[in-house]
Structures are given as C-alpha cells and as structure tokens.
Amino acid sequence: MDNNISCQMKVETGEAGYVLEDVPHLTDYIPDLPTYPNPLRSNPAYSVVKQYFVDADDTVPQKVVVHKDGPRGIHFRRAGPRQRVYFAPDEVHAAIVTCGGLCPGLNTVIREIVCALYHMYGVTRVLGIDGGYRGFYSKNTITLTPKFVNDIHKRGGTIIGTSRGGHDKPKIVDSIQDRGINQVYIIGGDGTQKGAAVIYQEVRRRGLKAVVAGIPKTIDNDIPVIDKSFGFDTAVEEAQRAINAAHVEAESAENGIGVVKLMGRYSGFIAMYATLASRDVDLCLIPESPFYLEGEGGLLEYVEKRLKDDGHMVIVVAEGAGQELLAAENSKTTTAQDASGNKLLQDVGLWLSDKIKAHFAKIPSMPITLKYIDPTYMIRAVPSNASDNVYCTLLAQSCVHGVMAGYTGFTSGLVNGRQTYIPFNRITEKQNNVVITDRMWARLLSSTNQPSFLGPKDVCEFKKQEPATQSVDGDNSKANDI
C-alpha cells in the first residue's frame, strides 16, 4: 500500500494544449480493489436512458471561449455514473456533515444524497453528523433514511445542524475510522473545503478505504471555478423583498433614502445581482470596489445629486464594503474573529446611514428620511427556490456517482453548465470575487448611474490584477466577462 501522500494535483496533458486536472482515486493508494457492476444498470428508471453512463474519458473545459490557435486549456473530469463501482451496497457506511454559515438548499442536498444512495445504489446506512465538524467527535449521530428526509427540502437551514470551528483532524479521522465510515460527504464553503482536504490527506495517509468528497456551499458565491453556488439565486430573490421595501419607504418620504445591507464578506455577488435584478437601486457598494465619502466625485455628493434629481434613492451595501474606511476611523482596529478564524466585520450599513444623516444635518434645506433595513439572515435562512432545488439535486447525485466510482479528494461542481469533479486544491487556492474591470460591473454602473469612485490610475491598477476565475452566468475563464 502506497502511503506516500502526494499533495500535487494529478495532471494529464494532451494535444493542442489540453490539460486534465484530475481528481484522486482510491486505487491511487489501495491497488487491486474489487469492482462491481453499477446497480443502475438494472434500475428500471435509468436502464432505458441512452448513454446513461459517463465515458471514462469525458472531461469538461474550464474555458469555453477559445481562440482558433489558442490552447485547449484546463479540463475537469465529467461527473456522472460509471459502469463499475468500487463499493458493494451493503459495504457502504456513509456520513454527511454540514459546516459554516447557512445557505438555502442545504436540506435539499442532504435529502438528495440520502435518496441517491438508497434508491440508486441500494445503500442503507447513512449517518448525519450533528453540528458540523465537531459533531464527529462530540455528539451523537443522526440516522438518515429517505423517510426521515422526505420533506426537509421545504425547510430552511440544515436538519443536521452546522457550526464554525472545531476542526480537529485527528479526532475527526479517528471517528471516521472507529465508526467504519467509508464515504464522507462534506457540505460547506471555502473553510469547510480546506478542512475536507486535510481530512482526505489524513484518511489517505492512514490507508483507509474511505472516500472524502465535498459539495460547495457559499451564499457569498466566493468559491472559484464553479459557475455559481447553490442557494445564490434564492438569496438574490429574497433580497428583492428588502430592496422593494426600501424603495417603497424611500419613495413615500421627502428626500427618502433606503439603505439595505446584504451578505457578502469579501465578494459582492449578492449585492451586485440583487441590484441588477431590482432596477430600483441607485447605489451598490461591494467589498471589491473602494469608495470614498467626502468631496468631488464622492458618495455624499452623489446622494445629494440623486435626491435633488429624483427626490429619493435606494442604496444596497454588501457587508464587507468599505471596511477599510471603518477601520481607519476606529483607532482600535478590531481583530475579532469567529470560531473558524473569519474576521468579524463592523456594521457598514449603520455606519453609512450615520454618515449620510450627519451630512444632511448640515444642510437644513434638505431634510432627509433614512430607513436602514438589515435582512442579512433572512436571505439565507429561507428554503431554496425551485431552480436551486433542481440544482441541489443534480449536485448531490453527481457527488454520489463520483464517490461510488471510487473518486476521492474532490469537490462536485458545475463548470460551464456541466457537473464535474474538481480537485480540492483548485477550490481552496483562491477566492472568487467580482472583477470590477469586467463587463458585469460596468452593466451595474450603467444601470444605477452611480460613480465608479475610481480615477484612471486606479483603473490601470485594477486591470493589472490577476482576474478571478468565474462569473455567475458566463465563461469560467474570466470573471463576469460575458
């Protein structure tokens, strides 16, 4: 048995600049494992589907817009059922865990993993780990059956609970080993996937026949490579309710201003898409786009102009926007973190509201009415909408197919509209951000008419920066470039 763990990615190259960034397989470190025919072959629902099984050589390009003479570029292994599987149904002992913040669709993913295991692969032992990573070693498990999970997709949250912190590698892997768990489904964001990568490496170091697979969850859409995260559409839709309320309040008062704070620690996708969808928003502030308050071309000048022109305005601000301005004002910069080590942010919505109020207090001819709406947790605590439910189903089923086929150390994800298996390194190496020199942000600026707050020198600096890797609705090769 080869216990030498390679953290290097499995990369294969082909003609015309073709690169496959492959995912590990159990046989990389446990040779001669027995295989079994995929039970789906005799499943009446699936056996009639033409080409139901994925060809072993199928891969999905990360970049769909290519030049005639350009290289074919990076590809990922296509997800889906394989002809042969590496687990007999009665051998499987699966565990599901959800970690990090909530996101619409978590329960749907749990439901569909359980149902895929039971109904597609005849598996009957599936455990829920209670309350995130620490649940592996500090809590009892929850038995998950199709009956138990039948209605859970209609509820927000996660029925197995979640938490931050508590990632104790030896204790978690001891628990996996002691309980005889051989399939671990880990649903969570960037932090969770980093934790999953560490668990995979330790499982492999111990030579265990146990697959570790991730499903990316991020309401902020800050995970790279994938087209978009599940629950994102639901969150954007829910945000419309807050924006509508802000608009109604603002429109009904003289010099009315509605301020809405939305989630987005380091990535402003929710704020950007909620703004683009609404059309009632006059100013959208995101972490990626710096702004300033005072002086020519500043935010306060713009607010004044908008009120003079329209009599009201709506501002959407992502929670991570302008944090550097708040920090500069507070002599004691906060270094507080949550249990996972994420920096705790200051309330930019309150701060901004106070700044605007203070500014207009100095202009007696322009009394304003400002309403601050903070729907932060409301947009992530709701159940997923119909399209996110379907997305969650495909994601969960794809993950189960990959695990049954013996792939490990991967995250399931949609790339250019196709389900794929992505190596952990690719998911964890960087963060997905809105690229403000790409077209989507330009669309936003033209729809709100807000200033960009950037001078020509800043634009040059931003253009020089390495582009992020994805858009919500476009070619994965370059953020927002659609």
Ligand X SMILES: Nc1ncnc2c1ncn2[C@@H]1O[C@H](COP(=O)(O)OP(=O)(O)O)[C@@H](O)[C@H]1O
Query: Annotated catalytic sites, by residue?
Result: 220
| One residue of 190, 202, 237, 388 binding Mg ion per CB under 5 A | 190
Q: Is 167 in the site for ligand X (CB under 6 A)?
A: yes
Smallest separation (angstroms) from ligand X to the CB of 380: 11
The partner in contact with residue 263, picked from ligand FBP, ligand X, Mg ion, none with C-beta cut-offs of 5 to 8 angstroms by kind, is: ligand FBP
Q: Is 218 in the site for ligand FBP (CB under 6 A)?
A: yes
Chain residues 156-175 in contact with ligand FBP, contact rule CB under 6 A: none
Smallest separation (angstroms) from ligand FBP to the CB of 172: 19
Chain residues 215-244 in contact with ligand X, contact rule CB under 6 A: none
Q: Is 22 in the site for Mg ion (CB under 5 A)?
A: no
231 vs 322, beta carbon nearer ligand X: 231
Q: Is 380 in the site for ligand FBP (CB under 6 A)?
A: yes
217 vs 401, beta carbon nearer ligand X: 217
177 vs 342, beta carbon nearer ligand X: 342
Chain residues 292-351 in contact with ligand X, contact rule CB under 6 A: 340, 342
Question: Binding pattern to ligand X, positions 84-103, x when CB under 6 A?
Answer: ---------------xxx--
Residue nearest to ligand X (CB): 100
The partner in contact with residue 319, picked from ligand X, ligand FBP, Mg ion, none with C-beta cut-offs of 5 to 8 angstroms by kind, is: ligand FBP
| One residue of 24, 101, 156, 258 binding ligand FBP per CB under 6 A | 101
| One residue of 189, 264, 320, 409 binding Mg ion per CB under 5 A | 189
| One residue of 81, 156, 188, 413 binding ligand X per CB under 6 A | 188
The bridge status of strand 59-61 relative to strand 73-78 is: antiparallel
Q: Is 138 in the site for ligand X (CB under 6 A)?
A: no
28 vs 220, beta carbon nearer Mg ion: 220
The partner in contact with residue 166, picked from ligand X, ligand FBP, Mg ion, none with C-beta cut-offs of 5 to 8 angstroms by kind, is: ligand X
Size of the site for ligand X (CB under 6 A): 19
Q: Is 28 in the site for Mg ion (CB under 5 A)?
A: no
Residues of this chain that bind ligand FBP (CB under 6 A): 100-101, 189, 191, 218-220, 263-265, 319, 338, 342, 380
